Amino acid sequence: MELTTVWFILIAFLFVGYFVLEGFDFGVGMLVGLLAKDEKERRVLVNTIGPVWDGNEVWLIVGGGAMFAAFPEWYATLFSGFYLPLFLILIALIVRGVAFEYRGLRDQQEWRDRWDWAIIIGSFVPALLWGVAFANIVRGVPINESHEYVGGFFNLLNPYALLGGLLTTSVFLVHGAFFVALKTVGDIRVRAHAFAQRLGAVVAVLAVAFIGWTAARDGDLAVWVIGGVAALAFLGGLAASMRDRDGWAFVGTAVAIAGVVAMLFVALFPDVMPSTLDPAFSLTTENASSTPYTLKIMTWVAVAFTPIVLMYQAWSYWVFRKRIGVQHIPA
């Protein structure tokens, strides 16, 4: 297997991890305004992701860094062409991170309410725009012979991309609700299950539409298979939720998200950014990659350090594995 293919798979793996892990804390952030009935319950929700949200964002940093080093042309075209949506995502992530740290610094409800809105909006914006961005990457954008994006912001707001954005936002809400059910006790756990089951039917329709549209565009059997597995996993998660199987419900949505992201990368390969102007202008794993020597050095570094990072993050989830409830929140 060529190193360009290895690094395409590794970048896909990093974004799968990012969407699975950051997906549930985006969902929990949005649920602060939907599930919690009082300040103690809002603190419960924030505390479920408090120890892990910043670690989850490391996957994005590493994925972006890997893209920059392994496929600099892809990085340059993506970050220049998608400048506005990626800038909005960055601002939302910054505001959201600040909100987690600042909401408890004053014992004033108005102060906390403002930061809660920052958490909600800072979670909603990336959840929506990541779906729009990745759908556009797979669909293709206007790229000229110099590998420069020549479209505008509204080129990105096409029906397929908007469907992708709606899907990521809604599935992250369900994924987040299942994480809340997995990590809490009492009434808030019951409401999380009920919310996920109500929204789940809508998400299932959106997922089938998006997976079908993607597979029909690509026509590859692997895309149909992976998309089908993702849909079945989501339905399995809903079924587990109805039986109060918190862990399996969360696993179901995690596998569904991982499947959809993997499906998008399979549909994309060997392109990394298809051109809608002329297929010859498309960026591929070959014409967008770094030199073989650079990829070789990066591969050895990844082999050495990736297991360490994975073990550390797994350890942090193990340490903070216990459930919490309002009884654990001091006055």
pLDDT tens, residue by residue, 239-266: 999 998 989 999 999 999 999 999 999 9
Query: What's the token pair of residue 120?
Result: 């909600």
Residue in the block written with tokens 């940093």? 61
Confidence of residue 328 (pLDDT cuts 50, 70, 90): low
Q: How many residues are present in the chain? A: 331
**Could you give the maximum distance between any two Cα atoms of the chain, in Å?**
64
CATH classification (class only), 21-328:
mainly alpha
Confidence of residue 303 (pLDDT cuts 50, 70, 90): confident
pLDDT digits (tens, 9 = 90+) for 114-133: 999 999 999 999 999 999 99
Distance CA(312)–CA(113), nearest Å, equals 34
Residue 52, SS3? coil
Distance CA(84)–CA(292), nearest Å, equals 32
Average pLDDT of the residues in 82-105: 91
Distance CA(317)–CA(299), nearest Å, equals 27
Q: What is the pTM of this model?
A: 0.93
| C-beta of residue 75 within 8 angstroms of C-beta of residue 144 | no
Residue 236 has pLDDT above 70, yes or no: yes
pLDDT digits (tens, 9 = 90+) for 133-172: 999 999 989 999 888 888 888 888 899 999 999 999 999 9
Tell me whether strands 283-284 and 271-273 are parallel, antiparallel or unpaired.
antiparallel
Residue 272 has pLDDT above 80, yes or no: yes
Fill in the DSSP letter of residue 286: T
2 or 251, which is more confident? 251
Domain boundaries, the chain: 21-328
Q: 246, 202, 245: which is closest to 24 by C-alpha?
A: 246
Distance CA(89)–CA(87), nearest Å, equals 5
Confidence of residue 205 (pLDDT cuts 50, 70, 90): very high
Query: What are the two backbone dihedrals, phi and then psi, of residue 149, each rounded to the nearest 5 degrees?
Result: -70, 125
Q: Which amino acid is at 86?
A: L
